[in-house]
Amino acid sequence: MDNITSTIQVVPLNHYILLSAIIFSIGVIGVLIRRNAIIIFMCVELMLNAVNLLLVAFSAYSGDASGQVFVFFVMALAAAEVAVGLAIIVMVYRNTSSIDINVLNRLKW
């Protein structure tokens, strides 16, 4: 455990923050500008993982394991999300022969 922590601490904290910010932004922008549902979905995962990275980094630096426990929760959640989300996308594809989200505009007044 100690050597992992020390390994993590080799890289300065700012770099982790920067990296996860970049990944998160990529995720956000991907969600905003792409229309393919699967890619949007992957971008959401990207955002989640950016947060995970940050949690692990902070956890290592502050010597508190609860951050890493939290990451496990997030991963479990992401897994569940993938299961449900992909199922939905598959159903959408079956119904509309497309996974373009602009086609899915019927959910309105």
Partner 1 sequence: MIDLVWLIPLFPFIGFLINGLGRNFLPKVVIGSIASLAVLASFGVSLGIFFEFNATEPVIINLFDWIKVGGIDIPFSFQIDQLSILMLLIITGIGSLIHIYSVGYMSHDAGFGKFFAYLNLFVFFMLLLVLGSNYVIMFIGWEGVGLCSYLLIGFWYTNANYADAAKKAFIMNRIGDLGFLLGVFLIISTFGSVSFAEIFPKAAGMISGDATLTLITILLFIGAIGKSAQLPLFTWLPDAMAGPTPVSALIHAATMVTAGIYMIARSNILFTLSPVTMSIIAVIGLATAIIAAIIALTQTDIKKVLAYSTVSQLGYMFLGLGVGAYTGAFFHVLTHAFFKALLFLGAGSVIHAMSDEQDMRKMGGLKSKLPITFFTMLMGTLAISGLPPFAGFFSKDEILAHVYEHNKLLWIIGLLGALLTAFYMFRMMFLTFWGSFRGTEEQKHHLHESPISMTLPLIILAVLSVVGGFIGVPEVLGGGHWLSHYLAPVFESSTSKMGELALDHTTEYMLMGISVGGVVLAILYAYIKYIKNNHVPVLDSEPRSALAKISYSKFYFDEFYNAIIQKPLDALSGFFYKVIDKSGIDALVNGLGKGSIEASKTLRLLQTGNVGFYIFAMVIGVIALLLYSFFKF
Question: Which residues contribute to the site for partner 1 (CB under 8 A)?
Answer: 28, 31-32, 35, 101-102, 104-109
**Minimum CB–partner distance for residue 43 and partner 1 (Å):** 10
48-76 in b/e burial notation, b at 16+ Cβ within 10 A? Answer: bbbbbbbbbbebbeeeeeebeeebeeeee
Calpha distance 65→51 (Å, rounded): 16
Alpha carbon separation from 26 to 46, 66, 78 (Å, rounded): 8, 27, 18
**Minimum CB–partner distance for residue 42 and partner 1 (Å):** 14
**Minimum CB–partner distance for residue 11 and partner 1 (Å):** 26
Token pair of 97, please?
Answer: 């022969």
**Minimum CB–partner distance for residue 104 and partner 1 (Å):** 6
Q: Which CB atom, from 94 or from 108, has the smaller least distance to partner 1?
A: 108
Q: Which CB atom, from 74 or from 92, has the smaller least distance to partner 1?
A: 92
Q: Which CB atom, from 76 or from 91, has the smaller least distance to partner 1?
A: 91
